[in-house]
Amino acid sequence: MNTRSQGTCQLYICVVLYNTKIEQIRSLEGFQKLTGARKAVLVICDNSTEEEIISHNQQYAAGQSGMLYHGGGGNIGLPKNYNYVLREVAPKDAWVMLSDDDTLFSDAYLSEVLRCIEEPGKEKAWIVTGLIKSGDGSAFSPKKGNQIFANEFLDQPGLYENIYAVNSGLTISR
């Protein structure tokens, strides 16, 4: 595993899989650019139940620099995997980015996440999220307001309070 030196921010990207091969992660190429540059560690939390996929993923991860593999012992759910990464993997000064296997993050988004955690502005954010669009290009997340069923979406980056965001792409200060 490659990590950056002590005293600098570290990004741990947690991808939870279920009966999916690591190579099928839509943002794998972007994540590997970050791990190759030692800007991130990719943590694969495998909830798979199919032995062939589990074996394949274990072997694939073993051959990758900057990638950690954790088999959850079946489909244990997202929260247990997130908590595993927070408790057992990411150091106290790290950031953890949550990802699913089918979200495609642009290089620009990944660069912006790194910028936010490495060069915080006057007001430090403890949670970073992107402006997420659905497959048809319409706004999907985050939403404004203090109600989970609000229909007013954010369309500009900035510092906000009282917003609701989906998990995928959410980056949290440890």
Cβ 91 vs Cβ 98: under 8 Å:
no
How far, in Å, are 29, 69, 93, 145, 157 from residue 56 at the CA level? 18, 11, 32, 44, 39
The pLDDT value recorded for residue 148 is 61
Instruction: Spell out a b/e string for 118-148, using b for 16 or more CB atoms within 10 Å of the CB, else e.
Output: eeeeeeeeeebbbbbeeeeeeeebbbbeeee
- Global pTM reads 0.85
Position 82, amino acid? Y
What tokens does 37 get?
Answer: 């540059």
Phi, psi of 102 (to 5 degrees): -110, 5
The pLDDT value recorded for residue 147 is 63
Q: Shortest CA distance to 97 belongs to which of 43, 139, 25, 143?
A: 43
Residue 123 pLDDT greater than 70, yes or no: no
What tokens does 108 get?
Answer: 């620009």
The pLDDT value recorded for residue 3 is 35
The whole-chain average pLDDT of the chain stands at 84
The pLDDT value recorded for residue 120 is 64
CA distance 105 to 28: 9
The pLDDT value recorded for residue 150 is 63
Cβ 61 vs Cβ 53: under 8 Å:
no
Phi, psi of 79 (to 5 degrees): -55, -40
